[in-house]
Structure 1
Amino acid sequence: MTKTVYVVSDSVGETAELLVKAVASQFNGGVVEIQHFSYVQNIEDLELILTQAKNNDAIIAYTIVVPFLKQFLDEKAKEEGIFAVDLLNPLMQAFRAKFNSEPKSEPGLMRKLDENYFRRVEAIEFAVKYDDGQDVRGIRHADIVLIGVSRTSKTPLSMYLANKIFKVANVPLVPEIAPPEELFNIPKNKCVGLVITPNKLNEIRIERLKNLGLTAQANYANLGRILEELDYAEKIMKRIGCPVINVSNKAVEETADVILAMFKKRGV
């Protein structure tokens, strides 16, 4: 004979269903009829579920975290002789005792965490795909576009902001290469220019060349070349009309905070 289990939740109810199936596999060949009651938000919903459960001789397995709903379900099920099992309560009590704090009692928090996780992964993948101007199509789809000469922290800044769930593309500005037209066709406040003092950039590039086993005399670290690049980048930034941040003495986190503050101010 097939047994019926009502899975009741003030959220989706995925956790309850998985646990019910795991337990059911130990009985009756795992054959149970599961009926879902998701997003239960009021007493009226519970009254209807309890009536049906009693008429169908069903077990209620629930993951309800809203206190007044849980209390009503527990009390009413006991009165009516219905098996109602709170699947979260044992672990909730253990957390309460161990951490000496109270739960938020807010439904759907796990789904919100999962959604944020996947959005973060998507943003990181976006930053990798559209790093260093690899594909200019990303400019139109990015939340933030970083521009600047080489070694102005565009890549690490892109990854840091991606972890804050922003899709970031970055484009290097090089005098010999015309900037992509897409930069001039997006809202100017979506683009952020990164500048740095010539001497600081010279130091960074010399160190970079040493790490690569190359001579510090290469044109890449030549001060005249650096001045040419910075002048070119400044002209592009002025043409776009984007905000500009001097990263000379800023850690990546500091620069990111400045950018996030700008976007927060705009209500993004």
Structure 2
Amino acid sequence: MSKKFHVYVISDSLGETGEMMARAAAEQFGGNEYEIKRYPFISNEEQIMEIVEEASAHRSIVLITTVLVNLRDKLREECSRYNIPMVDLLIPVMDVFSNFLGLEPAGEPGLVHRLDERYFKKVEAVEFAVKYDDGKDPRGVKKADLVLVGISRTSKTPLSMYLAHKNIKVANIPLVPEVPVPEELFEVPANRIIGLTTSPYKLNEIRLERLKALGLDSQASYADMGRILEELEYSEKLMKKLGCPVIDVSSRAVEETANIIVEIMKKNMLI
């Protein structure tokens, strides 16, 4: 039986071209199970580091469609660091155009979607997710279509970005026992809040990998099982108080969890 592989499609725009090419190529190798993960609107090096770090935990290939030189260089650097094969889908084509026309490319992402109304809505949703990520501004919870709550490393940010691609404005709030949640959260209807939880063992594994990637001591309280159980107990109590639906993300890919959320929102007539 063949071993499953993952294809990470990273783009500074929608990433649709990359996903289509990834699927077309993967299907030529029948009998090999694969999963495609698309990350649109990537705009900074920190996002790239997190995505490539995640890819390093799997048998992965990275495909990129970005016209921004600094992001392309960072992707090459990170993929090389983790020994992950990377394919730049745009550069060979742009080089041919550049040589033929005698011009340099504009280096501006998303031009093909500039006049697309849906594209603008996606951009607005992505900007919203970035602005109100990780509880940066609690006022966002009252403006959001959806609020995600959960302790650290329960996929709040990846889910926010993925749902933004579906034109859903998401704010997310980290749950920490020592830090009170913003009062605004209790003013949001329960059907517009989703709680995220996970297995303590899975969380321990993820947090240990995170500490290792950051070069920090694996004995730090962040990955301590006692601390993890304390955080999960606190989050469970708070979610019960909020009366919101709760999704266990332990064995689910971001896409699967996002689809569950979309179905909940449709059922509640929020989209």
2:132 maps to which residue? 130
User: What are the residue-to-residue correspondences of 1:1-268 with 2, within 5 Å?
Assistant: 114-268=116-270
Once the two structures are superposed, what CA deviation does each residue of 1:63-92 show, in whole Å capped at 9, x if it has no partner?
A: xxxxxxxxxxxxxxxxxxxxxxxxxxxxxx
Deviation at 1:266, TM superposition (A): 1.9
Identity of aligned residues (%): 66
State the partner residue of 1:72: none
- Secondary structure of the equivalent of 2:116? helix
Report the secondary structure of 1:257's partner residue: helix
Q: What is the CA RMSD across the aligned residues, in angstroms? A: 1.7
Separation in structure 1 between the aligned mates of residue 216 and residue 203 of structure 2, nearest angstrom: 17
Deviation, structure 1 residue 248: 0.3
Given residue 177 of structure 2, which amino acid in structure 1 is its aligned partner? P
CA–CA distance in structure 2, aligned partners of residues 203 and 131 of structure 1: 24
1-structure distance, mates of 2:218, 2:260? 32
Larger-Rg structure: 1
1:105-153 Cα shifts (integer Å, max 9, x gaps): xxxxxx9x72211110000000000000000000000001000000000
Instruction: Measure, in 1, the Cα distance between the counterparts of 2:175 and 2:249.
Output: 16
C-alpha distance in structure 2 between counterparts of 1:264 and 1:236, whole Å: 24
Give distance in 2, aligned partners of 1:241 and 1:266. 14
In 1, Cα distance between the equivalents of 2:188 and 2:158?
23
- Equivalenced residue count is 159
Q: Deviations over 1:221-242 (max 9, x none)?
A: 0000000000000111000000
What code does the residue aligned with 1:266 have? N
Q: TM-score when scaled to structure 1?
A: 0.58
Given residue 184 of structure 2, which amino acid in structure 1 is its aligned partner? E
Q: What's 2:42 paired with?
A: none
- Contact kept in structure 1, 2:191 and 2:268, CA below 8 Å: no
Structure 1 SS opposite 2:120: helix
Q: 1:267 Cα shift?
A: 2.1
Q: TM-score, normalised by structure 2?
A: 0.57
Q: Partner of 1:215: helix, strand, or coil?
A: coil
1:253 alignment partner, SS class = helix
4+ long deviations beyond 6 Å: none
